[in-house]
Amino acid sequence: MSRVDRLRDLLASQQLGALFISKAENRTYLTGFTGSAGAVFVTASEVLLLVDFRYVEQAAAEAPGCEVVRVPRQATDAVAELVHRRELQRIGFEQDGLSYREYEVLSKALHPAAFVPVDGIDRLRWVKDDEELAHIRAAASIADAGFAHIQRFLRPGVREREVALELEFFMRRQGADKEAFEIIVASGVRSSLPHGLASNKTLAPGEFVTLDFGAVVRGYHSDCTRTVVLGHASPRHREIYDLVLTAQQTALAGLRPNVNARDVDALARQVIADAGHGEHFGHGLGHGVGLAIHEGPTLSPREDATLEAGMTITVEPGVYLPGWGGVRIEDLVVLTAQGCEILTRTPKQLLIL
């Protein structure tokens, strides 16, 4: 209930009578309910979990701290009844949680109560508690085992899709609920694609192969990227790989609580820019990971957040050279009082297979 109490602090600070929570990650975070549909209605004294017939039993089992309310699959009228019966004047909702159409329908149904967009609800999830960290550690451990397993499949003639499929199956056999996202396997010139999903291309000697993958355990994600070379590493392979590794290690050394997220991004970005490849590192250095694979805070030039102990964040610089290839090295870390603990245990020296 401490999570709900923090939500109620937000409710009180914005003079709201209730908060309507519809995003799946926030719904699970606040109640423990893992079903794929439903909403949470939080007032100063109540936590109502609104689900349709399909989820009544599951909700009762997973969310014992909530009052489970059965509603139709189209629950607009039921939500309106809750609001009007309690004579609530201002109802908050996640500003990025509803489509415009959903907002329009609910706003009309709740009238004359005001339906108010609220920022900051997702931010409640940024700092992880011990239970959350245990699930994230388990997911990271499965991904580590996955990378050790998949190395024997990385050989010329194998299709990228076959690699991704084998990696997914292995992580599931190790206890993952599912893969954290569609696995990236990008080889040769395709390794310059930061999000190069596995294709029918076959692996070939003398190529970089980038693998970006993760596991999900009890709803919590992990995220890891490693880049290897098949057969023989050229001087250029080694140069680009060493540059990215140096950038990552520089950022990790500066990652600790009470620093600004964009300043950590700048540490890695400066290393890459000084080597003449600033234009080849076009994404942020990292992002939060938890119930969502991408959540706050981000490590980017646009992020003004102050980092805190308990945040789980990726550190993933990359250099991408169109027409040739690219390198990304990504670890998942948790911030500690002293700095950061790297949850990804897979070695990072250049691996030549």
Q: How many CB atoms neighbour CB 280 within 10 A?
A: 19
Tokens read off for 212: 């970006």
Residues 106 and 223 in one domain: no
Residue 297: strand, helix, or coil: strand
- Domain range enclosing 177: 130-352
* 40 in the same domain as 18: yes
| Other CB atoms within 10 A of residue 266 CB | 18
Q: Are residues 31 and 155 in the same domain?
A: no
Contact 247, 271 (CB under 8 A): yes
113 and 135 fall within a common domain:
no
Say yes or no: 35 and 178 in one domain. no
Q: First vs last Cα of the chain: how many Å apart?
A: 50
Domain count, the chain: 2
For residue 74, the model assigns a pLDDT of 86
In this prediction, residue 1 carries a pLDDT of: 60
Q: Which residue has the tokens 């009844």?
A: 81
Same domain assignment for residues 35 and 142: no
Q: Read off the CATH number of the domain in which 206 is found.
A: 3.90.230.10
Report the pLDDT value the prediction gives residue 75, as an integer from 0 to 100. 87
Q: Out of 125, 147, 179, pick the residue that ends a domain.
A: 125
- Residue 3 near residue 127, CB atoms below 8 Å: no
Report the CATH number that the domain containing residue 111 is assigned in CATH.
3.40.350.10
Note whether 229 and 314 are same-domain residues: yes
In this structure, the answer to whether residues 121 and 158 fall within a common structural domain is no
Identify the domain boundary among 82, 98, 125: 125
Same domain flag for 157 and 112: no
Domain boundary among 76, 99, 125: 125
Please state whether the predicted TM-score (pTM) of the whole model is above 0.85: yes
Q: Which residue has the tokens 């439903």?
A: 38
Do 253 and 113 belong to one domain?
no
Q: Where are any strands of DSSP class E within the chain?
A: 18-21, 39-43, 47-51, 67-70, 90-94, 114-118, 178-179, 184-187, 208-213, 215-217, 220-221, 224-229, 286-288, 295-299, 312-315, 318-321, 325-328, 331-335, 340-342, 351-352
Are 51 and 151 in the same domain?
no
Residue type, 126: W
150 in the same domain as 261: yes
Q: Quote the distance between the C-alpha of residue 60 and its chain's center.
A: 27
Q: What is the pLDDT along the chain (353 residues), one digit of tens a residue?
A: 699 999 999 999 999 999 999 999 999 999 999 999 999 999 999 999 999 999 999 999 999 999 999 999 888 999 999 999 999 999 999 999 999 999 999 999 999 999 999 999 999 999 999 999 999 999 999 999 999 999 999 999 999 999 999 999 999 999 999 999 999 999 999 999 999 999 999 999 999 999 999 999 999 999 999 999 999 999 999 999 999 999 999 999 999 999 999 999 999 999 999 999 999 999 999 999 999 999 999 999 999 999 999 999 999 999 999 999 999 999 999 999 989 999 999 999 999 99
